[in-house]
Structures are given as structure tokens and as C-alpha cells.
């Protein structure tokens, strides 16, 4: 079955360059509640977007080629999730179209902000529109799951409590706080964290009443990956120890980025100015809706 338009001339998006945001996410908490037979882990986590994004520029073409015009250093194009996402959608829908893609990448790699997953999701959502494939969000999310467990949350585009490997989503709206996001001079492999022998894997599952709060930066919630990372990465341990003296702070995902919740943008900027040397950082606000859909809705 093909979802694509048969006539290339009926597609008004061809040869138009359009910019799409590819936002970061943070995990307000990340509990590992078990390990599955396929070696994946069952998680309970809360995803929230932040208003800090890579920017992808896509130009749909009548030629069938998928071209990434801005290769990412150290990543072969065929291994890049951006290219993989475009090929996945193309093969699924048998579309005759191609695309030229460029990216302005500001999200750090190996930071736990979901940059690669977000890039893949943005490509799937954007090309679904530009190629006029007309797949549902559920179909796109199923495709995205083949690329990574975090891809579906970026496709659905709302803050959510996630279970399973991260694909079972329940919409939830935590406080859209201001955060100082910091990253020490290290990069952490998600695979290394999840295959580590000393990773906690038996946190008790949350009750539904535990999700009725709006504040998840409390002792009841935590990041099981942080427990492991601070043992093996002194740079992260040192940064966290410094930050918690000022405000509630927690690692996101498998790290190395840490988010610190502040009462205002002004307070976040003040703390940013005090940071030790060698720490990269930015200030961002939490968002319960992905900015990607504001752009898509206008097309």
C-alpha cells in the first residue's frame, strides 16, 4: 500500500526550503523498574521539552535522493538518525520524492537531552507533511521506535509519563519551570550506562496517585542512571555537588547534562554567571508542547 501522492506536480512543498525546530527534552525523573528478556529495560520516566532546539532545514525534491548537506563530525551519513529516518519513511510509503536536509546543531551529543532522537522525529514529522504521506502520529511513532526508544515522545510532541522502554505514553503537564542546563567536559555512552553491572534495576513502580503532583524534583523521584554515573564520571559528580548547593539539580537521561530548577529566568542567568570554568551551559524553559507542531500547523 502506498500513502504517497502519485503526481509530483500536485505537491506544493516541492523545492521549498522550510525550517523545523528539533527540541531537547529532559527527564524530570528516570526510574528503572526491571530488565526484559531482550536486554532492554523497563522504565518509568517523565519527559518534558525545553525551548532549546537544533534547527533542521528540509527541501523536498522531485529527485528520489536523500541528501544530508551538513554531515556531523564523527558520524557517517548512513549511520545518522536523520538519514535513517528519511529512508525509513521513504521505504514505508514508496514516495517518489527525495529531500535535501541541513542541520544547525546546538544540542550536545552524549548529553542526555535526546538530540539525535529529536532530529529523527523532526525528520519523520516534517517529511510526512512535505512528502504528503499522510501517516497518522501512531504510525509515525511506530516507525520512530525502530530508530530509538525516545523517538516516539518527540513525534507525539507532548510532555508525558513514559513506561515500557519509553514508548507507552500518558500525557501529563508538569510545571513549565526555568532551568539552567549544564554539561561538564565529558560525554557518556547510553549503551555503556544500560549495560553496566552496577546499574540499579529494581526501583518500585509508581502508583498513579504519585503522578498527581506538579513537582517531580523531590526525593520521591530520582534518576537511577545518575546513581551509576556519579560513581564512574567524577566530572558529573563534582558539577552536581556544586549545583545542589544553590538549587534542586538532577542529571537528565543517561547524562552528562544536568538540569537545575530555578524560580525565574533571571535567577537561572545569575547562577549561570557563577558556573565554574569548563562547564558549558544554557538557560531554557520547560515546555509541555513541542515547538515543532507550531511550525507544522502553519504549513
Active site residues: 25, 150
What is the β-pairing status of strands 66-68 and 98-104?
parallel
The distance in angstroms from the start CA to the end CA of the chain is 26
Q: Which residues sit opposite 180 in a β-bridge?
A: 260, 283
DSSP H or E segment with residue 102:
strand 98-104
Beta strands at 41-61 and 17-35: parallel, antiparallel or unpaired: antiparallel
**Whole-number Å distance between alpha carbons of 82 and 101:** 8
Listed in sequence order, the residues at least 6 apart from 213 whose beta carbon sits closer than 8 Å to its beta carbon are none
CA distance 246 to 254: 23
Cell of 188: 557518556
| Residue 84 CB neighbours (<10 A) | 19
Q: Within 13 A of 177's CA, how many CA atoms are on the CB side?
A: 22
Report CA Rg, the chain: 19
Nearest in space to 292 (alpha carbons), one of 19, 13, 90, 42: 19
Give the separation between CA 16 and CA 103, rounded to whole angstroms.
16
Amino acid at each position: 500500500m502506498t500513502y504517497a501522492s502519485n503526481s509530483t506536480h500536485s505537491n506544493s512543498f516541492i523545492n521549498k526550503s522550510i525550517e523545523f525546530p528539533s527540541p531537547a527534552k529532559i527527564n524530570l525523573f528516570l526510574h528503572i523498574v526491571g530488565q526484559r528478556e531482550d536486554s532492554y529495560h523497563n522504565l518509568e520516566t517523565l519527559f518534558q521539552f525545553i525551548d532549546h532546539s537544533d534547527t533542521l532545514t528540509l527541501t523536498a525534491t522531485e529527485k528520489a535522493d536523500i541528501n544530508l548537506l551538513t554531515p556531523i563530525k564523527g558520524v557517517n551519513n548512513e549511520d545518522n538518525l536523520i538519514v535513517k529516518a528519511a529512508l525509513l519513511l521513504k521505504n514505508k510509503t514508496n514516495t517518489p520524492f527525495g529531500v535535501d536536509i541541513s542541520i544547525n546543531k546546538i544540542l550536545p551529543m552524549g548529553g542526555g537531552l535526546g538530540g539525535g532522537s529529536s532530529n529523527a522525529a523532526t525528520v519523520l514529522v516534517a517529511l510526512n507533511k512535505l512528502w504528503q504521506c499522510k501517516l497518522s502520529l501512531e504510525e509515525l511513532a511506530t516507525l520512530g521506535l525502530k530508530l530509538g526508544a525516545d523517538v516516539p515522545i518527540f513525534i507525539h510532541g507532548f510532555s508525558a509519563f513514559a513506561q515500557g522502554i519509553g514508548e507507552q505514553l500518558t500525557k501529563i503537564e508538569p510545571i513549565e519551570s526555568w532551568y539552567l542546563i549544564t554539561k561538564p567536559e565529558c560525554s557518556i555512552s547510553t549503551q555503556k550506562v544500560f549495560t553496566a553491572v552496577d546499574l540499579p534495576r529494581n526501583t518500585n513502580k509508581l502508583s498513579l496517585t504519585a503522578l498527581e503532583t506538579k513537582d517531580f524534583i523531590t526525593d520521591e523521584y530520582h534518576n537511577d542512571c545518575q546513581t551509576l554515573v556519579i560513581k564512574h564520571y567524577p566530572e558529573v559528580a563534582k558539577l552536581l555537588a556544586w549545583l545542589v548547593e544553590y538549587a534542586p539539580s538532577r542529571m537528565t537521561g543517561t547524562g552528562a547534562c544536568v538540569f537545575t530548577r530555578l524560580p525565574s529566568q533571571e535567577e537561572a542567568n545569575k547562577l549561570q554567571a557563577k558556573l565554574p570554568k569548563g562547564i558549558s551551559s544554557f538557560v531554557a524553559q520547560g515546555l509541555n508542547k513541542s515547538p515543532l507542531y507550531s511550525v507544522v500547523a502553519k504549513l
